Amino acid sequence: MLHELFTPSVQHWLDIVGIFVFAISGALLAVRKNFDVFGIAVFAEVTALGGGLFRDMVIGAIPPAAFTDLGYFLTPLLAAALVFFLHPEVERIQGAVNVFDAAGLGLFCVTGTTKAYEHGLGLTASAVMGLATAVGGGVLRDVLANEVPSLVRWDRDLYAVPAIIGATLVVLCIKFDMLNAGTSAVAAFIAVVLRLLAMRYGWRAPRAWNRRSRAASTDE
């Protein structure tokens, strides 16, 4: 199904763009943590490829695309080198990086869902794999940095919810035989817009009803 939505070359470059912007975010966190050049490269690779690796191992797409396409592996290293030498400049355009990160989130929740469905998973499981593809790298990045993953922190803007909505729209399109390049683009666009609005207006997921904890954040 996925190969019918986009040509292989278009799909490849969409993946590369998503990988690059996720790698930038991972490398920037490594710089903030004062890690060395190897740490910067590791964080770039893990953030960019972690979600896709997890998805491919679960669905049985072995060896994972990250190990069969040299471009997938080298792109995070390019992003790491860029951040290593130019991180003050990259920090100054953090707003633009966030926009591209949102675009990567929208793209990967769509492509991850469709790839999982192609490999025989049901609709619900495919949506879960779409979510994992979009956010898995960020979770691994935060765990390596010894931080509570942003995915589960109430004091961070919505991240998983836009990906869940995008993946859900994809499986609904599959269910009603409406999945094509246009509807896939709409699903990705909605996920991106929701993520951007969450960042703009500080939207957050609700905490437990009538919670009595006085903790201000998950760090406390």
**Residue 162 · residue 192 · CB < 8 Å:** yes
Among 101-105, 110-114, 116-120, the minimum mean pLDDT is found in 101-105
Q: Is the pLDDT of residue 101 over 70?
A: yes
Q: CA torsion 179→185→190→192, rounded to 10°?
A: 140
Q: Is the pLDDT of residue 132 over 90?
A: yes
CA distance 201 to 157: 9
187: nearest Cα among 115, 111, 119: 111
Q: Which two tokens stand for residue 176?
A: 């009603």
- Which whole number is the average pLDDT over 161-176? 96
The model carries a pTM of 0.86
CA distance 46 to 131: 16
pLDDT in tens, 148-164: 888 888 878 899 999 99
Count of Cβ atoms closer than 10 Å to residue 2 Cβ: 17
Mean pLDDT rounded to a whole number for the chain: 87
* 66 to 72, 109, 138, 177: CA distances (angstroms): 5, 17, 16, 30
